[in-house]
Chain A
Amino acid sequence: MTNYIQEGRIRLDKTRFQDVLATYHDPCNYGRKAERIFGHGYYDEPRWILSQCMENWVDVYPTRDRQYCCGGGGGALTTGYTAERVFYGRKKMEQIRATGASMVVVPCHSCHGQLNAIKAEYGMADLTVKYLWELVADCLVMG
């Protein structure tokens, strides 16, 4: 994806979401887990891609390797322990709320599913949860 953008193989319209404030969530597997297993945590790459799509975004706190898990990882979305999973997500939702963002961008299917599933429980039903690649596709300039 980074290559597509750097090499000009895709063009992105940065104005499409200019009126939206977004934030970004590091999935455990892209961050901490990758850092331990592969020796490199993917913190900067998705943020760079995000910056090619929109200028108006802020990080949550804490972030990167200190990021809170969404609560849906490790198969938690499918164990049936729903109350525990919703409770788990409380810190994540507090983090997002504190940024004032109306959109959270994630590059993970589990995080995406969890954040969408719990946002209403925390009074944030209007929060848009967007895949990083969905954001890129939304910003594509064709022709």
Chain B
Amino acid sequence: MTPSEAISMNDLNPARFQDWPFDQNHCLTCAMCSSSCPVSGVDGFDPRKVIRMVSLGLEQQLVESRWPWICTMCGKCEPVCPSGIYIPDLIRNIRSLRDREKVPGILHKGLTAALKTGNNLGLPKDDFVFILGDVADEIAQEPGFEDFSVPIDVKGVNILTTIHNKLVNTHTEDLKHWWKIFYAAGESWTIPSENWEGTNWGMFTGDDPAMKIMVGRIAGNMTRLEAKNLLWPE
């Protein structure tokens, strides 16, 4: 069944999500959220309906629906809600209920790889270090950057930075911007050779335990390398 079809009273289970802290039962059905939402109407999506479905405990329909994944949790609805319902967080919680193997696209696959290998790509440490060195060599050929090198696993730095996996995959040119700024500013900085992944797809899939592990690894790098500040552009 899809969310737009008629439902039986027997399917209602208002107790189901009563412990969720998003104030969904305060909904006035005013539709300010629906009016503010850039994807209202796509596939029949309507944030107001989602909120009512949570209130009524329509778990199966919510979990199977594409709606929570069409929403980008951009938060445009939240400030306009007169009842102060935490709509993006509520959407994320619905996402968390989906069977992990049925999470759309590559989100869960990337996260699984990250948990196993330290990054979404499953890129081995040697390859990662090689790519960084290669890009650093390119920068060193530019005027003004002649003695540039990339500091990997340097202890006691001011800034430790994470890396978005796409920058060591298809967009290596975009590694250069921050590195050049650090060089020009005479910054003391480093990149960890392991657990460098800056994205945290548990945020998108509603996977709190995974998210905590990923954040914990970054904190672990900060401790291990005695870094004072973290640059986490992702």
Contacts and interface: CB of A to CB of B under 8 A. Distances in A.
Interface of A: 1, 4, 9-11, 28, 32-33, 36, 65-66, 68-69, 71-76, 78-81, 84, 87-88, 91, 107, 109, 113, 131, 133-134, 136-137, 140, 142-143
Contact of B174 (A87, A131, A143): A131
Contacts of B43: 84
Given A79-B107, A134-B177, A142-B143, A109 B234 contact: yes
Contact of B75 (A33, A71, A134, A137): A33
Interface string B193-209: 00000010101110000
B233 interface: yes
Contacts, number: 118
A34 to B, nearest CB: 10
A19 B187 CA distance: 31
Interface in B181-234: 181, 184-187, 199, 201, 203-205, 233-234
Interface residues of B, number: 43
B178 interface: yes
B73 interface: yes
Contact of A134 (B88, B145, B174): B174
A75 B72 CA distance: 7
B104 interface: yes
A66 to B, nearest CB: 8
Nearest to B203: A75
A143 B146 CA distance: 11
A86 B204 CA distance: 19
